[in-house]
């Protein structure tokens, strides 16, 4: 008998520092309202706090209802906050996509729903040969794209959409996150994204003074 696998989604971003973790945590809050065991994972994280844990990973764990071994929800925790390929090289680490795929598989066997957060933008390099798109293609999960609403977001969002499609992946939806409160004409940008992105808008998160998952979740009416 085949092992039941929980539904899972890959949260990808149009760039770095645009709110993937905030949105991932908000999605975990939405899923926890329907499922007993939900878990967030960040397979590759670069930069650690004084306790040796990456801040994004800590936030995902805080919003998860299932506790798992660190090698499952964060197989690669690289010390320095830089591009993963450079951080891995400086740590003498080789990022193995099969190891990540196995960890995500085991999470899906244990949980009722899984959120997997990517690192950086969709095509961020993981090595001199592989990038986030290669990882996404290996995982074969539907993608939720986080669009950081700031100058340049339209180009980044449309390029990300094409990169996702080129790898044969499903864009399940997108979330706009207003990372720049001073952005001019944000609504006009959102309207274009609604017209040009070939997936439903799952929500628009306004600029939040603090990155609060519960507050963000109220702006993402997602019920998969």
Enzyme catalytic residues = 42
Q: Is 187 exposed, middle or buried (0-12, 13-18, 19+ CB in 10 A)?
A: exposed
Using alpha carbons, list the distances in angstroms from residue 34 to 5, 47, 204: 17, 33, 22
* Phi and psi based region of residue 119 (left: phi greater than 0; alpha: psi -120 to 50; beta: remaining): beta
Tally of CB atoms within 10 A around 198? 9
Backbone angles phi, psi at 204, to 5 degrees: -125, 115
- Report the alpha-carbon distance of residue 217 to residue 148 in Å, rounded: 16
Q: Is 56 exposed, middle or buried (0-12, 13-18, 19+ CB in 10 A)?
A: buried
Buried b / exposed e over 155-177, threshold 16 CB at 10 Å, is ebbbebbebbeebebebbbbbbb
């Amino acid at each position: 008998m085949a092992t039941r696998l929980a539904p899972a989604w890959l949260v990808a971003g149009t760039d770095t520092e645009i709110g993937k973790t905030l949105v991932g945590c908000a999605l975990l809050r939405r899923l926890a309202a329907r499922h007993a065991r939900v878990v967030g994972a960040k397979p590759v994280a670069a930069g650690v706090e004084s306790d040796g844990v990456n801040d994004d990973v800590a936030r995902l764990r805080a919003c998860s209802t299932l506790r798992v071994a660190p090698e499952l929800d964060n197989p690669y925790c690289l010390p320095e906050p830089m591009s993963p390929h450079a951080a891995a090289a400086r740590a003498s680490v080789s990022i193995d996509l099969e190891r990540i795929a196995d960890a995500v598989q085991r999470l899906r066997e244990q949980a009722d729903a899984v959120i997997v957060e990517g690192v950086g933008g969709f095509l961020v390099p993981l090595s001199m040969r592989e990038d986030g798109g290669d990882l996404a293609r290996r995982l074969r999960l539907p993608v939720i794209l986080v669009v950081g609403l700031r100058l340049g977001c339209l180009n980044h969002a449309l390029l990300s959409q094409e990169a996702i499609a080129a790898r044969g992946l499903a864009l399940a939806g997108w979330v706009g996150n207003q990372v720049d409160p001073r952005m001019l004409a944000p609504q006009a940008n959102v309207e274009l994204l609604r017209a040009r992105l070939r997936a439903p808008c799952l929500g628009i998160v306004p600029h939040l003074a603090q990155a609060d998952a519960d507050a963000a979740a109220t702006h993402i009416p997602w019920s998969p």
